[in-house]
Every structure is written in C-alpha cells, then in structure tokens.
Amino acid sequence: MNNMEKNNPLGIVLGLLGWAYGIMSQIMSLIFFVRYCKTDSLLEIIFIDTWLSELKGILWIFFI
C-alpha cells in the first residue's frame, strides 16, 4: 500500500460505517428472530423464520 491509500479519510469513514451497519444488521436479525420464535411453530422457525429474520436484519433500516 502506498501512502495515499493509508490516509484516505473518506475510505476510513465508509469502512467504519460499513462495519457498524453489518454489526447492527446482525443484532436486528436476532431481535426479529426472537419475535418470530415467540409466535410461530417449530417447523416454521426452522425452515422460514431463520431466512426471513436474516433478510429483515439486512434491511433493518426499513423495518424500524
């Protein structure tokens, strides 16, 4: 890496925002999954709710 790549403040900020969004999406996936577990049957939890909660976790900003 050259000096220009190391000191790019926009790249650093975007990287931190990407990491923060990724961490927050996994937290929201867990929250959505727990909500589904409280209301759905075991088979629905195993086959549908795991995928649905992960998808909603990735798109969490639209579901709050």
Tens-digit pLDDT profile for residues 16-56:
999 999 999 999 999 999 999 999 999 999 999 999 999 99
How many residues comprise the chain?
A: 64
pLDDT over 90 at 57, yes or no: yes
pLDDT recorded at residue 21: 96
pLDDT recorded at residue 3: 59
Q: Return the percentage of the chain with pLDDT > 90, whole number.
A: 77
Question: Greatest CA span in the chain, whole angstroms?
Answer: 56
Q: Quick check: 35 and 63 in contact, CB under 8 A?
A: no
Chain centroid offset of residue 17 CA: 12
